[in-house]
Structure 1
Amino acid sequence: MPPHPDPTTCAALASDLTAAGYTAEALRNAWGSVGDAAIGRGLRGPAVRALAPRDDALATLARLLGLGMPQPVSAVDGALPRTGAAGLVTLGLAAIDGESVVPAALIRPQEWGGETDADAGEWWIASDLDEAALEGALPTDHVLGVGGASLTLAALQLPTPAGRVLDLGTGCGIQALRARLYADEVVATDISSRALGFARLSAALNGVDGVDVRQGSLFEPIAGERFDRVVSNPPFVITPRGATADGVSAPAYEYRDGGAVGDDLVRQVVTRVADVLADGGIAQFLGNWEYRDGRDGLDRVREWVAAASVPMDAWVIEREILSPLDYAHLWVRDGGTPPGSPEYAALIDLWLEDFEERRVTGIGFGYVLLRRPASATVPLSRFERVSSPAPQEGLGADLARALEVHDVLGIRDDVGLAASVLTTAPDVTEARHLVPGAEDPTVIELHQGRGFGRTLTVDPGLAALVGACDGDLPVGVLIDAIAELLEVDAAALRADLLPRVRELAFLGFLDPVA
């Protein structure tokens, strides 16, 4: 049964959690760095041992709601004086078995950041018991808590104001809460009634209003409506639909499996999202795409974008490519099937056979940003591979800035760009590599400290220009001076550098001043 987010009881629970100091930092301190790292890998033993000597309210809640361990009724009543064990039962979060409170869900604090400390905060996120608490495989209707993919998408969300935002496939509700920070209204949809119960509970616990929760598949619950923003961590995992000769089939986990063949669910989102976006509206989501029969996966995504009902701006970033075997191992293990077991081997074979039928040689994972252009915008089409570390907090602001730079500089021709004044971004550093004894570097690199942490190899002319951009002189004047210094033709140097200046500005190495 899904949770029952009674408003009065949720308010009481929030008050109790606050009074107990149930925060992410407090939990990290309570179960230690090793326990925290182990929990991230689905192991709770180190945290349990660290908490063993303690019987205070925080330790009781850490075991009950953080780790999913039964606790004495008396201890829970003491830790939650306003809610009590009975209140947790009312919310559908626990059951009482004799003298013990048996948890039916987890509530973990999740920090969220911003451009400044004043923008940062924390939520309590409710979800189903995890693999460690269940001590076995997950049920197919499992509602996942905050994981790596959801944190990635939260970091990618544009933090700019929006009227209406759609969270497609909301799960536990983390993206809806994030979107509500900058949106007037959020509509959160999911095919799972259990997931919607957790999303409502997470919103109620954190006192977040303006989230309209609706049940249904993909775009069905919002047919005919338009949104300024769409965010989605859809069930994009490629899952085999068949079964082995022994009747073994892949579990259809609702949180990751949309019921489509191959990567067709991601294709549907790409091709159909334009129909629910307002002019200028932006969609951001994660996805997998297959490399089939020697064809590049990003080329297939490019074709999906072209098949949308209206021309769409696209910025698609592929972070990694997995082999069919690595992909199968990842998702068979994700469901709790232990490596080395007969079921594990059968499921791996099932996945590999499914890929072989479609001649799949690799599976790409990445981020998709699509925009339904307003009439005055310049077309954007970027399909790229970025292998830098996972996105950090604040990347959403960098993406928003890149789109703004694209729109501003895109309408300027080379004459206009040459008249522009730029400054080098404060996070950019330069590294020069020299052969011992040589006067001139063999390699010059520009390093980006934020965003995707890109490293670009540049030539002396471009390096000199980036170093000279201090917000004082126009780009064209700087290029002419560099041409004189390098004793090269100024017109030829302009033709060479200006396209790359546009690229550096888009990527955040240079900031337009005027």
Structure 2
Amino acid sequence: MNGAPPPLSADVCARLRAAFGQARYDADGVLDALGGAAHAALGRGEPVPAHRASLDAGELGVFIRLFLLGEAEPAERVRAALGPLPVEDAVAAGVLRAEGQRLRAGLDIRPHGDETGSWWVVSDLDSDQLGRPVPGDHVLGVGHASLSLIRATSRRPVGSLLDVGTGNGVQALHASRHAERITATDVSPRALALAEATFRLNEVDVELLRGDWFAPVARRRFDQIVCNPPFVVGPPRVDYVYRDSGLAGDDASALVVRQLPGFLNHGGVGHVLASWLHTKNDDWSDRVRRWLPPGTDAWFVQRDVAEPALYVGTWLRDAGIDPRSAEGRAKAAAWLDWFAAHEVEGVGFGFVTLRRTDGTPAIVCEDLRQAYDDPLGAEAAAWLDRVDWLREHGRDLLGTVFRVPDSVVLERIDEPGDDGWSTVVRRLHRTDGPGWQHELDELAEALLAGCRGALPLSDLLELLALAHGQDTDALAEAALPVVTELVRHGMLEAVGR
């Protein structure tokens, strides 16, 4: 274990911020210095193009080589780059570490930006920079999971926001764009110390509390909660605090989903990264539904399912453990034995959006495996809006005038036959957001063709029944679930809504 590092003082943070600002060590400055190709290569784990580009970047290049490339730099160059912050103070604070006449980064401090601006995130050095597996209290940098939750979080203005398991503090940084008051918790003293450094360095005001799960905020309520919990699934152990909860299986995700709504104000929203087991005799959607407390709207979006061997190998490598080593073989065997004993066939991963409601809860579990570019957070907020609309108007869908949005297109696949081409697939595509798709039959295609903002649904169904010799009531009974699902996915909208 590393233990909690000495806190970065306000003075050290102010001087470091000034040095970074003078050198343009921020998201845009680094991209400008490296260029698109070298920057992309660095993101793929290929450092040489970035190193070459950094040699012409002056003091910014020094920071790039120290903090982004993990290289040792001559002390005199570092002293010049740090400017107002003496090298000795930076070493004493743990920002740098001496290596003979050279200096290396003691912490991972790297720019992280959004469409509005840039921050610096403070975390621990990874296993590549350390040259060994990370310790158990390692504080992870901004990885794929963190970025996924950032993109899956709605950004409408709120009064209060809680970040459970803040880690390096990146979720709270993004929350500072739309939340008036932010509280962040973590069980790890080291994570809290580095999160505090992140907040001080960026001059972001965050209330920091230590404790397990929701214990530090007992009897408090928030308008929004975000949580990137230690959701790794397997035997009950804690090898690494950032990913292991000490709870067996998917109990960590279940705990968060079960408890989070009780800490929301009425109408408050929670966003969670979660994992769930796929077992031999239990459908994943039934499993996660059992986690929910009463009075909770819930949207479970499954992004991926990993088979056990792939899952175990991925997380071993994440910790810097070679699966071929003696340690890797032993850990993999114990992990896979646990999966086999519990009849685990796969591990699902995805996003959970929760809302505290007094109405009849809407609970939807669905797969979203396709790639998409738009952030899911905006879609989650819109999904909740559409759930509200359906809750208020769902009994009068027949009297509603609908239109198909311009972002929705129809794909038709035909095959040749004796009498010419015949349609075998009719697929509705939404071209924005997550890119939802729905397959239709011939009658549904004809119904949607009439949804042009002129006639109510009831009139369209009557015309359709007459044209196809169908019973109107039977046609309506079959159409209403389809219409509801299309409304929920933003592929059909009420005129004047």
Q: Is contact 2:51-2:65 (8 Å) kept?
A: no
Tell whether 2:52 aligns with 1:50. yes
Q: Distance in 2 between matches of 1:36 and 1:106?
A: 17
Q: Offset of 1:26 from its aligned partner?
A: 4.0
Matching residue's letter, 1:365: F
Tell whether 2:392 aligns with 1:411. yes
Q: Distance in 1 between matches of 2:410 and 2:160?
A: 42
Structure 2 match to 1:4: 7
Secondary structure at the residue paired with 2:261?
Answer: helix
Q: Offset of 1:443 from its aligned partner?
A: 1.4
Aligned match for 1:453, one of 429, 432, 435: 435
Tell whether 2:260 aligns with 1:273. yes
Structure 1 match to 2:139: 143
Structure 1 match to 2:212: 217
Q: Is contact 2:54-2:60 (8 Å) kept?
A: no
Structure 2 match to 1:116: none
Q: 1:283 to 1:413 in 2, by over 3 A?
A: closer
Q: Distance in 1 between matches of 2:444 and 2:118?
A: 43
Write out per-residue CA displacement over residues 40-87 of structure 1, whole angstroms, 9 at most, x where no aligned residue: 45x354345434643611211111122232222221232232334345
Q: Distance in 2 between matches of 1:48 and 1:40?
A: 10
Matching residue's letter, 1:334: D
Q: Offset of 1:180 from its aligned partner?
A: 2.3
Aligned match for 2:300, one of 316, 319, 330: 316
Write out per-residue CA displacement over residues 212-249 of structure 1, whole angstroms, 9 at most, x where no aligned residue: 1111111111111111221100011124347xxxxxxx
Q: Which shows bigger deviation, 84-93 or 96-105?
A: 84-93
Q: Which shows bigger deviation, 477-486 or 333-342?
A: 477-486
Q: Offset of 1:342 from its aligned partner?
A: 2.2
Tell whether 2:65 aligns with 1:79. no
Q: Is contact 2:235-2:338 (8 Å) kept?
A: yes
Gaps spanning 5+ residues in structure 2: where? none
Q: Distance in 2 between matches of 1:345 and 1:124?
A: 37
Q: Distance in 1 between matches of 2:308 and 2:82?
A: 48
Q: Distance in 1 between matches of 2:14 and 2:467?
A: 68
Q: Which shows bigger deviation, 95-104 or 164-173?
A: 95-104
Structure 1 match to 2:381: 400
Structure 1 match to 2:102: 100
Structure 2 match to 1:245: none
Q: CA RMSD in A?
A: 2.6
Identity %: 36
Q: Offset of 1:313 from its aligned partner?
A: 2.0
Secondary structure at the residue paired with 1:69?
Answer: coil
Tell whether 2:364 aligns with 1:382. yes
Taking the TM superposition and a 5 Å limit, the aligned residue runs for 1:282-301 are 282-301=269-288
Q: Offset of 1:179 from its aligned partner?
A: 2.0
Matching residue's letter, 2:287: R
Q: Distance in 1 between matches of 2:236 and 2:375?
A: 38
Matching residue's letter, 1:148: H
Secondary structure at the residue paired with 2:109?
Answer: strand
Q: 1:347 to 1:33 in 2, by over 3 A?
A: farther
Matching residue's letter, 2:364: R
Matching residue's letter, 2:220: E
Matching residue's letter, 1:82: P
Q: Is contact 1:67-1:106 (8 Å) kept?
A: no
Q: Distance in 2 between matches of 1:463 and 1:204?
A: 57
Tell whether 2:290 aligns with 1:303. yes
Write out per-residue CA displacement over residues 361-413 of structure 1, whole angstroms, 9 at most, x where no aligned residue: 2222121222221x3x3420112222122x64532111111111111122224
Q: Distance in 1 between matches of 2:111 and 2:348?
A: 31
Taking the TM superposition and a 5 Å limit, the aligned residue runs for 1:147-166 are 147-166=143-162
Secondary structure at the residue paired with 1:442?
Answer: strand
Gaps spanning 5+ residues in structure 1: where? 114-119, 243-250
Q: 1:206 to 1:474 in 2, by over 3 A?
A: farther
Tell whether 2:421 aligns with 1:430. no
Q: Is contact 1:155-1:392 (8 Å) kept?
A: no
Structure 1 match to 2:111: 109
Q: Offset of 1:151 from its aligned partner?
A: 0.8
Q: Is contact 1:324-1:363 (8 Å) kept?
A: yes
Aligned match for 1:200, one of 196, 202, 217: 196
Q: Is contact 2:234-2:339 (8 Å) kept?
A: no
Matching residue's letter, 1:283: G
Q: Distance in 1 between matches of 2:75 and 2:253?
A: 46
Q: Offset of 1:293 from its aligned partner?
A: 4.5
Number of matched pairs: 491
Tell whether 2:41 aligns with 1:61. no
Q: Which shows bigger deviation, 428-437 or 101-110?
A: 428-437
